Structure formats: C-alpha cells, structure tokens
Amino acid sequence: MVIAVKRKGRRSEKVLRIIMAGLAALFLLEGVFLSTAFMLPCFLMTGAYFWYGWASRREYEYTIEEGYMLIERVSDRGRAALHQFSLADVEILALPDAPAVARYKKGGEEKIPKFDYTSYEDGAPYCTMIAKEDGRKIKLLLDLPPEAIALIRRANPKAVLI
C-alpha cells in the first residue's frame, strides 16, 4: 500500500512570498529610476523567491508492504528514504491525545526525536506512531487512512490502540 501526502503551505509562507515579490519589484523600480546598482538586489531577491518556492514544497510517501514501512520524501530531485522499519518494531499507534502517547509528549517521561510527516490539512486526522528504527525509538506523526491502520493492526495487533 502506498499513501501519498502533500503538505499544505503555511500562512506565513504566503506572507513571506508576498514580501519577497514586493521587495524585488521595489528594487527593480529603484534600479530603473535611481541607480542600476539596485538591479543586483532585485535579481537576488527574485532568485530567493523562486528558490524558496522550490525548496518549501514537501511531499511524502508512506509505503507499507511485506511487514515493513518506508517513509520517503518526494521532490523534483527524486526520492529520499527518511525512515524504514519493520511493523513488528511498532510499539504504539494511537491518536495524539491517547494516554499511551502522553509519556512521549513534550515534558513527558521519555524524550525521543519527533518527525512530522502530516499534511496540515484542516480536519485531516493524524496518528502518532512510536517505533524502533536502528535500535532507537522515534516518534512519527502520520496521516494514515483506515486501510493502512488495518494493515498495521494485522502485522502487530498489540501496538494499534485506535
């Protein structure tokens, strides 16, 4: 099973892009009317605008097959594997407000690295998964459909608390 997740842009990204476009236009006008020395900042700001648009796109793909889960970042440059682990190594798969996840929250008993691969869409439910990867625990925030939860439940019924 392959699940594709496209991350929604934040409101601050839109504001930042408007500011960059405005500064590029301002530098262009200053370069035309005042001095051509303002053309270099104009070109640099335009380059930063396009680079930021390219670099801020985030798409993820979860692949669940044969008892393993693979999380990849998908971009124009290709794919980059971020996490790969066995479904037998999943300790907890629950909703974020479940009591079993409370000990892993900020200020909780155990401090483990957190990785957020959700879409940030309003109303899209997401799950918290605690798994072991290469012998260390990691906390993953994932947008999993019911079919994926059922697959994980078949592979590791004790871990799924949904």
3-state secondary structure of 49: helix
Residue 44 sits in the same domain as residue 102: no
In a domain, 44, yes or no: yes
* Total number of domains constituting the chain: 2
Q: What is the dihedral of CA 111, 138, 6, 74, to 10 degrees?
A: 130
In a domain, 76, yes or no: no
Q: Which domain holds residue 30?
A: 2-55
pTM tops 0.75, yes or no: no
Residue 150 sits in the same domain as residue 95: yes
List, in order, residues 6 or more apart from 144 with CB less than 8 Å away: 3, 62, 93, 126, 127, 152
Residue 97 sits in the same domain as residue 140: yes
Could you read off the pLDDT of 29-59 as tens digits, one per residue? Answer: 998 998 888 899 999 999 998 888 877 778 8
Could you read off the pLDDT of 60-88 as tens digits, one per residue? Answer: 899 998 889 999 988 777 788 888 998 88
Beta-sheet strands, E only, within the chain: 2-6, 59-65, 68-75, 78-86, 90-94, 114-117, 127-133, 136-142
